[in-house]
Structure formats: C-alpha cells, structure tokens
Amino acid sequence: MSLGLELRHRRLPGSAVAFVSDRLLAAANGGSLAIYDVPAQAHMCSHAAFDHARIHGIAAHPADTRVLVFGAKCWTVLRIHAADRQCVRIERLCSGARSDWIKAAHWVQDRSGRWLVALALAHGQIHVLSADDGSAHTEDACSEPCIAYAAAFSGRALDDLRVCVGTVFGDVLVRRVHAAPARVGGHDGAVFGVAFLDNGAIASVSDDRAVRVWGAGGDTALFGHRARVWACVDLGGGLLVSASEDGTCRLWRGAETVDVWAQCAKNVWAVAASPDRRAVAAVGGDGSLCVWPVRAGRRIETLDELQGVALPEPNGEPRVPEFTRGFALGWDAALLVANSGRVLRYEYERAAWLPVWEDPVLRGYAMVAGCAGLAAVGMRDGSLVLFLGDSNQRRRAQLHADAVHWVSVAPRNAGVFDVFTAGEDGQVVWSRVTGDSWHVARVELPSARTRVASAAVSGDGRWLAVGSATGGVYVYA
C-alpha cells in the first residue's frame, strides 16, 4: 500500500474506524456502519447498526469477517458477506445492551476455543458475553472506583485478558479479570485514548495535548499536536500513530515525529491500523475517511531529501531528450507517460520500471489522470486510453473530434469508475467504466472556448455538474 486515499460519502462526523481485512475497511458515521474497498477506493455497502445511538467503536474479528460494534450502552455483532470484491450484505447476528456505557470491545476465546465478546464499561467493569446469543459468561466489577473515558483490551485467551482504562481524572489503570487495578501513570487532563503496544508498553493520549508511552523504564512524553489528542494506535516496530483535535495524525518513532498527515480543519476522531500495518485509516469531524500509507523512514522536511527515480533508457537512440508528460498514482504502482510516446509502470515495492505501451500519437502530448484501479490518458487525436488495474490491459475509444485537453477519474463503487474528459470540440464526455463495460454520455458546453476545471455526478446518476476555469458551473440532467 503506497498511496493515501480520501473518501467522503456522508456529512456526519466520522466516529469509529477499523480494518476488517487488508482490503475491507469499516467506518462509522452516527449509527450507520459503512464498508469500503480500500484498493478500489470505493464504498461497498452500509448498514444501520443502531437507531438511537452513535457508534463509538468497532472491533474486527481476527479470523473472519464479523465485526463487534458498540455505542452508548448498546453492542451488536455483524457479519460482512463479501464475494468477488463486492459487499453482498451485512447480517446482524447478535445484539444486546448493558446498564453502563461501553468504552471498549474485544474478541476473546475461552479454554474450549469458543469466541466470546468482552466489554469494558464506564465504571471499570468487565463483562464477557457469548458472541452467539449475548448470554453472560463473566461479569467483574472493578475494586477501585473510577470513571473511564477510554479503554483498550489485550489478549485473545480469556485467561490472558487485560484491560487498560484511561479515566476522566487523568489516571491510566491496568487490570485483569477478578484482579485489582494497577496505576501505570497519569496525565494533566482526562485520558481520551489508550492502547497496548507490542513491546509490552502502554500508550495514552489526553486533554493535555500529550502522547505518553508507559514502559518498564518509565514514561516518555511525545509533544507536537497543537490541540487535544483523541486516539492512538500501535503499528509495531516502535511506530505509533496519534489523532488529534488539530485535524492531523502524527506518526511517531520513539519521541520523533516521522510524518504528519493533515486530514481536516478540526478533529480526527479515530484511527485504525491495517492487519499488515502498512496503512492507517482515520475518520474526521468533517465526515472524511482517509487511508494513509505508513512510511517508516524519516520525515522529509526539505526538497533536497526527496529521492529521484530516473526513467529507464529507451530502446534505440531517442529522437529528443525524454521527460515525463504526465503520471497517475495507483495503490501499488504509478503509470507514467513520457514525451517520447512511451507508457511505463513503476512498481513501488520492487522499485522497478515495466514497459506498458508505446504510441507515436502520444509524442509531445498526453493528459493523464487516475486513481487506484484505473488510469486514463487523453490523446492529441481525441481518443482516450484506459489502463485497468495492475495489469497492462487497456481500452481505447475515440471520444472527441480534437485533442483531449482535460481528464479526471473518480471511483464510484467497487470496480466502477467515472471518467470525465473535455475536448477542443466543446464537448464534455462522461464515461462509466467497469471491468467489462464502458458507457458514454455527452454534453455540449456553452462555448468551445470554455475550459473545464472539474466535473461530478450526483449519487443517483441523474445530474452532471461541470465547473469551468472562469468560475462557471453548468448542470445537466
């Protein structure tokens, strides 16, 4: 995974996020749970988990596509049915309610291997329930009075289960079932998020704008956020991500900031790491859902630190000095068009160039756009070439009578893309592209001299809006 993506499908603030697999991502807005295909950058399906509660957290099952969702005093177990990269449906398996607010949820196994649901409640209680029917297995009260603002679990076996609690008074407590809590440390404000780290340490984030890591050698305070810090997640290998009211996520290695991801104007509420820990998802107060690649290297501060990648030598003597005309970034590779007419693919992981195609019509002119799953190249003769997925498969169609001067690609759903082109002929062409189809609709601009700057289609596909470079907006039904 090598490319950040952004998906906006609702205006409600995002409240929770979790990876179901390296490909499937679950995110919550209000009481609704949405499933996304990350490589395709597409919304797959949604489900109303709660009618009168906001989803506060999502715990993905470690072995299948079940998710444990909780909000306020309610919890529910859902199964995501997906096939051929499509979310067929979301099935409700079990649900229930507690007498206190739920602060964390976790999947755990008893000694027979049966899966159970563990819940941490607002006054320190731990409730362990059957994942099949919600019947009580274990209910344990905390011996020390506390009011939890945040909690996190560790351990998959019930005998190894631990819970870390961050309180409204700034304390960080750790305990096992039927055991007294131990105070790990504290903050100068309420603790908003806690996480167990792979190395045995505990991370906590707080109203005091600090991220603290509590280990055997004491605590380490990480400062850098300009406002309160809401959540954190461990990436292993000494890497940690925090999310803040200042609208950013920070990637930390030790006490050093490795990267800063600016997402929204205010409040990144929740973060989650993919199972392979190569990507981090975050939901923002503006309804944004962003997936960021994890680059473990040092943060780049100046242009001198950028790494250059030279184009491969062409076959034979080049006609003119070769340079890049345009490129499109995908999830695992980039597609590049050179002024010589060559189309090349650069694979990030292998750091290798692969030849894709060559056409003399591309010499000296190409308009390129794309996203993960599809790249589009507009040509001087008015044709458009589409490159699908990570293969060298391509399609070509004559869409305009003259040169294509603008191209845009937007993911629609899993495996479905909208491609917009504008030509010197005064037409805008909207293409709906899937793995085996390419449907086209055309509209006339008020003037052939109108320069298109953006285009979008309504959710029901009935309206097309086109924005011009001079500030005009044209709407077509």
Task: Answer for the pair 222, 229: CB distance below 8 angstroms, yes or no.
Answer: no
Is pLDDT of 136 > 90? yes
Taking residue 462's Cβ as centre, other Cβ atoms within 10 Å add up to 9
The tens digit of pLDDT for each residue in 353-377 reads 999 999 999 998 999 998 878 899 9
E strand or H helix at 115: strand 115-121
Count of helices and strands (H, E) across the chain? 0, 43
pTM above 0.75, yes or no: no
Taking residue 352's Cβ as centre, other Cβ atoms within 10 Å add up to 11
Question: What pLDDT score does 300 carry?
Answer: 60
**Cα-Cα-Cα-Cα dihedral sign, residues 226, 228, 230, 233:** positive
Q: How far is 89 from 112, CA to CA, in rounded Å?
A: 30
The one-letter amino acid at 253: R
Residue 244 Cα to chain centre, angstroms: 16
Per-residue pLDDT, averaged over 45-54, amounts to: 92
With b for 16 or more beta-carbon neighbours within 10 A and e for fewer, the 10-20 pattern comes to beebbbbbbbb
Q: How far is 438 from 460, CA to CA, in rounded Å?
A: 18
Task: Answer for the pair 367, 382: CB distance below 8 angstroms, yes or no.
Answer: no
The tens digit of pLDDT for each residue in 242-269 reads 999 999 999 999 888 888 888 888 999 9
The tens digit of pLDDT for each residue in 294-329 reads 865 555 667 776 778 888 888 776 667 888 999 998
Task: Answer for the pair 101, 72: CB distance below 8 angstroms, yes or no.
Answer: yes
Question: What pLDDT score does 8 carry?
Answer: 46
The tens digit of pLDDT for each residue in 434-474 reads 888 999 999 888 877 788 888 888 766 788 888 888 888 99
Q: How far is 447 from 46, CA to CA, in rounded Å?
A: 41
